[in-house]
Amino acid sequence: CMCPAGWKLLAMLALVLVVMVWYSISREDRYMELFYFPVPEKREPCLQGEAERKASRLFGNYSRDQPIFLQLKDYFWVKTPSAYELPYGTKGSAGSSGSDRSSSCGSLKCRRCVVVGNGHRLRNSSLGAAINKYDVVIRCVPVSSYFLAGYEGDVGSKTTMRLFYPESAHFDPKVENNPDTLLVLVAFKAMDFHWIETILSDKKRVQKGFWKQPPLIWEVNPKQIRILNPFFMEITADKLLSLPMQQPRKIKQKPTTGLLAITLALHLCDLVHIAGFGYPDAYNKKQTIHYYEQITLKSMVGSGHNVSQEALAIKRMLEIGAVKNLTSF
């Protein structure tokens, strides 16, 4: 028979256990509230300038005065003053094509944007229809229509902007001919400029200086091509990841195009949602990192991307409400 003191101790332990369980559940609810934003049945109100106001907490002296695309007339290559070399500036490099701030969304009073990553969390998400309803859909390399085929129910089919670099350009010329999509070159090195110049001007092709051979024939409409202002790479690296601007000739660390796309959206849009971001836990060796292929986290070794640091940057964006998440993170 247990003495009264024993029963009292048991009751206290049970009470502590109940409190701990309640606290754990409440913390989990708070976590989901911060990092998961289920798709609402009604469109969320869009307040002009809201994303810019919240993004200023991340980027400090943040301004929309910076052009999204580099300016270049008639595709002549000109030197552009800049404090940094690529990928953070155009010092010693060239200008580029394009002029407008976005595609057909320039007249919108309030831009609703979604940045769609390539993460495995998109698989079986059934987000496709919701993604297609946004004013601007920004996708990251290498997701062209080729990689959307068969997954439209999860990832949608609309693409307003697609960020790419030469090595990610698809060899099938028919893949890139959607007239509603702007193809936005992210230039990591001077050879990227030269490659796009030879493609658009039909000059002798550049075949050296790439980690993977880009297409030598790329039948895209020049009116669809834009080149992203390296300013966005600079503030992504500096303000979000605290990377040094002056690195050895061979850049060892750089942001992913996914994080870069979010920075671009915060500059361009008034409401920014994200989907398909986040990598598996390091101990989960067999979990694929993309929804469309079977490669694992091992493939990121030597890529120059710090996925842990990027996860912290995205969590900070979620915490301050600069972006909201359509998938768990």
Q: What is the pLDDT of residue 280?
A: 62
Nearest residue to 86 (alpha-carbon basis) of 161, 184, 167, 193:
193
In terms of average pLDDT, the best of 20-24, 74-78, 132-136, 174-178 is 132-136
Q: What is the pLDDT of residue 176?
A: 58
| Tokens describing residue 208 | 């050296």
Q: In this model, does residue 87 exceed pLDDT 90?
A: no
Q: What SS3 class is residue 231?
A: helix
Q: In this model, does residue 233 exceed pLDDT 80?
A: yes
CATH code, domain carrying 158: 3.90.1480.20
Nearest residue to 131 (alpha-carbon basis) of 258, 266, 32, 276:
276
Q: In this model, does residue 191 exceed pLDDT 50?
A: yes
Domain that holds residue 307: 39-325
**φ/ψ bin of 226: left (φ > 0), alpha (ψ from -120 to 50), beta (otherwise):** beta
Q: Does the residue 75 lie in any domain?
A: yes
Alpha carbons 87 and 94: distance in angstroms, whole number: 12
Exposure string (b/e) for 135-158, b if CB count within 10 Å is 16 or more? bbbbbbbbbbbebbeebeebbbbb
Work out the mean pLDDT of the chain and round it to a whole number: 76
Alpha carbons 277 and 116: distance in angstroms, whole number: 8
36 or 114: which carries more pLDDT confidence?
Answer: 114
Q: What is the pLDDT of residue 111?
A: 94
What digits encode the pLDDT tens for the residues 123-180? Answer: 888 999 999 999 999 998 654 555 677 788 998 999 999 999 888 887 665 565 678 8
Banded model confidence at residue 31, pLDDT cuts 50, 70, 90 = very low
Total of domains in the chain? 1
Q: What would the mean pLDDT of 36-65 be, rounded to a whole number?
A: 76
Q: What is the pLDDT of residue 27?
A: 43
DSSP state for residue 185 in the 8-state scheme = E
Q: Does the residue 18 lie in any domain?
A: no
Q: Does the residue 9 lie in any domain?
A: no
Q: Does the residue 12 lie in any domain?
A: no
261 or 30: which carries more pLDDT confidence?
Answer: 261
Q: What is the pLDDT of residue 83?
A: 65
Cα–Cα–Cα angle for 95, 101, 104, rounded to 5 degrees: 130
